[in-house]
C-alpha cells in the first residue's frame, strides 16, 4: 500500500461536495483523485476548484488505477449497487447511511467486503463530532455520576427538507429509501447513543405524525417521537421534527445523572453542566468547517484503517443495529 490512499468521492451534493471532497483533499495521507456524478452541472466546477478530474460514468471511475477507495455520498437507493460494484473491484468503500434500504442488502454488502478483504465503513460521524466526544468524556469522568436518562431532539427546518428532498423524491418512497426522512436521518443519533453509553438500545416505541406543509410543496413535516430503553437500564426519549422555521433548527442532547447533575449538549458548539452551583458551567466547542459534525475526522479514520490494515471503529454491524431501531418507525406506515 502506498503512503497515500487514492480516493474518489461519488456524489457532489451537500455532504459529498462540501464535507467529504474537501476533507480528502486536505487529509495528509489521502489523495483526492476524482469526483463522480451523473451530470456535469455541479461536479465540473467543483472538480476544477479542487484540481481533480471527474467522471460521469461510474464504471470508468472504478477502472481508474489510482482510485483505491470510494466515498459514496449518493441517494440511499444507489448505495447497494454502487458499493457492491466497488467492492467487487477491490476498492475500499466509505458509504453514507443508511448503507442500503434493507437489512438483507446490508448483510450482503458485509459478506462481499469480507470476501474481497476490503473495508466497508458506514459514515456514522456523530461518534467523531467534537460536541459528542466532549460530552462522552464528561460522562466518563463522573461529572453527572451514573447516567440514568436522556433526551435527544433534532429539528430540521421544513424549508431545508423541501429543498433537499421535495415531495415525490426518493426520500419519500419507502421501497427505495427504507422509510421517510425521519427514518433516514435518525440513524446517526441512534448510533451515537449506543456509542456514548456503551449500551444497546433494547426496546423502542415510536409514534409519528406527518402533517403536510403546504407552504413548502406539501412535504410531510414529520414529528416522530420514540421512547427507548438501554441495556444499562437508562431510559430516553427521541424527537425528530421537520415542521419548524429555520430559526428553530436544533440538535440537543440532555443527559441526566444519578448525582442530580445534568449535561446539555446544544448543536455543535455549546455544552452546559448543571451542577450544584447556582449557575451552570459552560463549554464552547471551537471547531469549524468539515470537522464540526465529524466528517473530516471519520474520513481520516477511514484512510488510517486502509493504510494500517486496522478494524474501523464503526462497522457494518453498527450500521445494521442503528437501522434496525430506525426501521421500527416505518412499521407503523406499512
Per-residue pLDDT of the chain (334 residues; tens, 9 = 90+): 458 999 999 999 999 999 999 999 999 999 999 999 999 999 999 999 999 999 999 999 999 999 999 999 999 999 999 999 999 999 999 999 999 999 999 999 999 999 999 999 999 999 999 999 999 999 999 999 999 999 999 999 999 999 999 999 999 999 999 999 999 999 999 999 999 999 999 999 999 999 999 999 999 999 999 999 999 999 999 999 999 999 999 999 999 999 999 999 999 999 999 999 999 999 999 999 999 999 999 999 999 999 999 999 999 999 999 999 999 999 876 5
Q: In CATH terms, is domain 5-123+294-310 a member of 3.30.565.10?
A: no
Pair 81, 21: CB distance under 8 Å: no
pLDDT at 194: 98
pLDDT at 120: 98
pLDDT at 3: 87
Percent of the chain past pLDDT 90, that is, above it, reads 97
Instruction: Using alpha carbons only, give the angle 134, 140, 145 rounded to the nearest 5 degrees.
Output: 115
**Which regions of the chain carry the CATH code 3.30.360.10?**
127-293+322-331
Burial of 59 (0-12, 13-18, 19+ CB in 10 A): exposed
Arch. (CATH architecture) of 127-293+322-331: 2-Layer Sandwich (3.30)
How many other β-carbons are positioned within 10 Å of the β-carbon of residue 235?
Answer: 13
Furthest-apart CA atoms within the chain: distance in Å: 63
**Which regions of the chain carry the CATH code 3.40.50.720?**
5-123+294-310
Please state whether beta strands 262-266 and 223-230 pair in parallel, antiparallel, or not at all (unpaired). unpaired
Amino acid at each position: 500500500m502506498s503512503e497515500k490512499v487514492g480516493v474518489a468521492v461519488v456524489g457532489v451534493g451537500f455532504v459529498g461536495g462540501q464535507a467529504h471532497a474537501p476533507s480528502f483533499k486536505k487529509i495528509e495521507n489521502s489523495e483526492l483523485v476524482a469526483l463522480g456524478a451523473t451530470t456535469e452541472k455541479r461536479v465540473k466546477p467543483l472538480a476544477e476548484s479542487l484540481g481533480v478530474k471527474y467522471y460521469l460514468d461510474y464504471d470508468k471511475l472504478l477502472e481508474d488505477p489510482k482510485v483505491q477507495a470510494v466515498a459514496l455520498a449518493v441517494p440511499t437507493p444507489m448505495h447497494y449497487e454502487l458499493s457492491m460494484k466497488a467492492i467487487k473491484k477491490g476498492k475500499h468503500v466509505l458509504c453514507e447511511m443508511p448503507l442500503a434500504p434493507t437489512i438483507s442488502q446490508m448483510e450482503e454488502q458485509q459478506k462481499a467486503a469480507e470476501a474481497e478483504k476490503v473495508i466497508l465503513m458506514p459514515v456514522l460521524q456523530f461518534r467523531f463530532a467534537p460536541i459528542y466526544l466532549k460530552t462522552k468524556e464528561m460522562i466518563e469522568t463522573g461529572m453527572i455520576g451514573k447516567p440514568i436518562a436522556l433526551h435527544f431532539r433534532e429539528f430540521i427546518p421544513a424549508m431545508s427538507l423541501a429543498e433537499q428532498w421535495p415531495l415525490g423524491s426518493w426520500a419519500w418512497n419507502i421501497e427505495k429509501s427504507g422509510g421517510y426522512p425521519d427514518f433516514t436521518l435518525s440513524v446517526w443519533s441512534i448510533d451515537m447513543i449506543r456509542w456514548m453509553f456503551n449500551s444497546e438500545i433494547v426496546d423502542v416505541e415510536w409514534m409519528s405524525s406527518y402533517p403536510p406543509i403546504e407552504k413548502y410543496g406539501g412535504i410531510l413535516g414529520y414529528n416522530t417521537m420514540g421512547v427507548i430503553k438501554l441495556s444499562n437500564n437508562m431510559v430516553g426519549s427521541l424527537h425528530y421534527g421537520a415542521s419548524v422555521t429555520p430559526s428553530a433548527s436544533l440538535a440537543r442532547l440532555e443527559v441526566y445523572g444519578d448525582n442530580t447533575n445534568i449535561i446539555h449538549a446544544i448543536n455543535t458548539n455549546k455544552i452546559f453542566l448543571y451542577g450544584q452551583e447556582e449557575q451552570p458551567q459552560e463549554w464552547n466547542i471551537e471547531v469549524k468547517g468539515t470537522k464540526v459534525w465529524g466528517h473530516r475526522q471519520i474520513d481520516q479514520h477511514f484512510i488510517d484503517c486502509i493504510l494500517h490494515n486496522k478494524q474501523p471503529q464503526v462497522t457494518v454491524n453498527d450500521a445494521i443495529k442503528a437501522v434496525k431501531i430506525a426501521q421500527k418507525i416505518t412499521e407503523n406506515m406499512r
